[in-house]
Structure 1
């Protein structure tokens, strides 16, 4: 891939509830697929009030997040050392390999989070409590 350009409205929405192998049951836009990214994952996650990405970790992947819309409660850190913070639009957060992370939409409106991960592995996540 040399370069790519796409507008959000041109990236199809995928309803993960229709794909048994891919929890959670949220809507995403796979920016990486449309842009032909080979060395990272890039997704827009859409979370309605109360929806969440559960606390998990990845064996290899480093992830970077940007809150575009909504209010979220973050849970970040190693098992037993987690930090919980409430954040809103304009907030960046990250988690390295084997570091627990998760977030819940605690606001009254739909939330949107940009998630970028590298390397582009597709593991379902590890239980951070099992990494101690």
Structure 2
């Protein structure tokens, strides 16, 4: 899914990009895309082909809802702020509070979600492979292994 409106967005030379040079896109203004947070589409700007890479910007209370994917493996790194993670199966989820410097990951069919619980803007680096519109699954509808 392309998030950049400009058909010819600025492409950095040698695929080097500073965080401050990537525009923040307000997803609340993009139809049919949730969550309603801000993102920097690093993958699009650096023309990544085999992985997705976004910086997600959260205000207090914003979240990525509890979900899973059938194919995508996701990797997260907290740059700023404090987040409450919900990880694992619906019948026995684990809740973990994390802050800057914390990594977490979710593989295919692994339910996960996170809510921003800090007071200022929170920022998470999210990487995913394979990229694209991997289907989003409701963990409550998955069959138990």
Q: Deviations over 1:56-106 (max 9, x none)?
A: 111100000000000100001122131100010000000000111111111
Identify unmatched segments of 5+ residues in structure 2: 1-13
TM-score normalized with structure 1 length: 0.94
TM-score (normalizing by structure 2):
0.86
Work out the number of aligned pairs and report it. 130
Asked if the contact 1:79/1:129 (under 8 Å) is kept, the reply is yes
**Contact 2:64–2:115 (CA under 8 A) maintained in structure 1:** yes
SS state of the match for residue 140, structure 2? Answer: helix
Cα RMSD, aligned residues only: 1.1
2:53 is equivalent to residue 45 of structure 1: no
1:1-132 alignment, distance < 5 Å: 4-123=15-134, 125-132=136-143
Q: Which structure has the larger Rg over C-alpha atoms?
A: 2
- Judging by fraction of residues, say which structure has more strand: 1
In structure 1, runs of 5+ residues without a counterpart are none
Please identify, of 88-97 and 114-123, the stretch whose mean Cα deviation from structure 2 is larger.
Answer: 114-123
